Amino acid sequence: MNHILSRFQEQRANSADTAAFLRKSLRLLHFNRINGDYVEFGCQRFITFQMAWKAVRSQPINRKLWAYSSFDSIPEPQTERDLHPRWLPNTPLMSEATFRNRCWRSGIGAQQMEAVKFITTSSTNPPPLPHQLACLFITFHSFTEVRAVLRCVSTHLTNGVILAFEHYHCGTRFDNSGARNAFLEFKTLRCDLEFEPYRSFGLAGLSFIVGDA
């Protein structure tokens, strides 16, 4: 019983820390006059998207929220770097209909958000992206998924954008996390950009501010 209570309290503390991170991030973006939208890739849980909505509403600037997910299930690993005992392949994820319903119940109208199906193994049909993004929040955990996201948004990462990984430190005894491995690879492809560490958040999250090298 004590173990269950302790776990619940830790989850609440991690959620509160993530919500505070999103509020401060959106506040900083407004202070720095960084225009653009909030973009979340993964959306395996609705909770962080709802946090972002509350953070966006707390600032005077209007920002649209974009949700990218398979809305299906955790995919089969494409490489050994995708393996992690906490995420089992074929585990069902929230459907798009359920996600949209939760948005509606939370007061996020159709004009304020966009839900897009994102298949990480498809390179022939890139998904629509906002004209300009300000905050990119990645909740995908596997190397293949995070690498696909970073390559997809590569040209949208400009000076002042905040880039956050929810599972940056979720590695194993055998390797770094998929997010970290994908990010390290991506940095070698975008040598024209710098990524200054910004804030850690939640259990394993880490964020960066994009800058010109």
User: If you write DSSP's letter for every residue of 28-88 in order, what string do you get?
Assistant: HHHHTT---EEEEE--SSSHHHHHHHHHHHTSSS---EEEEE-SSBPPPPSSGGG--TTS-
Q: For residue 7, tell me if it sits in a domain.
A: no
- For the beta sheet containing 162-165, the strands, ordered from the edge strand earlier in sequence to the opposite edge, are 113-117, 65-69, 37-41, 133-138, 162-165, 205-212, 193-201
- Does residue 3 surpass a pLDDT of 80? no
The CATH number for 23's domain is 3.40.50.150
Q: For residue 130, tell me if it sits in a domain.
A: yes
45: pLDDT confidence band, cut at 50, 70 and 90? confident
Q: For residue 162, tell me if it sits in a domain.
A: yes
72-77: average pLDDT: 92
- Does residue 2 surpass a pLDDT of 90? no
Q: What is the pLDDT of residues 100-152, one digit of tens each?
A: 999 999 999 999 999 999 987 766 678 899 999 999 999 999 999 999 999 99
User: Across all residues in the chain, what is the average pLDDT?
Assistant: 93
Q: For residue 1, tell me if it sits in a domain.
A: no
210: pLDDT confidence band, cut at 50, 70 and 90? very high
Domain boundaries, position 21: 12-212
pLDDT value at residue 8: 72
Query: Domain tally for the chain?
Result: 1
In the DSSP assignment, the letter for residue 156 is G
Radius of gyration (C-alpha) of the chain in whole angstroms: 17
pLDDT value at residue 11: 82
Q: For residue 140, tell me if it sits in a domain.
A: yes
Q: What is the pLDDT of residues 147-180, one digit of tens each?
A: 999 999 999 999 999 999 999 999 999 999 999 9
Q: For residue 3, tell me if it sits in a domain.
A: no
pLDDT value at residue 124: 61
Lowest mean pLDDT among 9-18, 187-196, 204-213: 9-18
Helix (H, G, I), strand (E, B) or coil at 90: coil
Q: For residue 2, tell me if it sits in a domain.
A: no
Give CA angle at 24 (212, 60), nearest 5°.
95
pLDDT value at residue 88: 93
Q: Which residues, in sequence order, are bridge partners of residue 116? A: 68
d(CA 160, CA 169) in angstroms, rounded, equals: 23
- Does residue 193 surpass a pLDDT of 80? yes
- Per DSSP bridges, beta strands 193-201 and 205-212 are antiparallel
pTM: 0.94
Q: For residue 4, tell me if it sits in a domain.
A: no
Lowest mean pLDDT among 18-27, 40-49, 155-164: 40-49
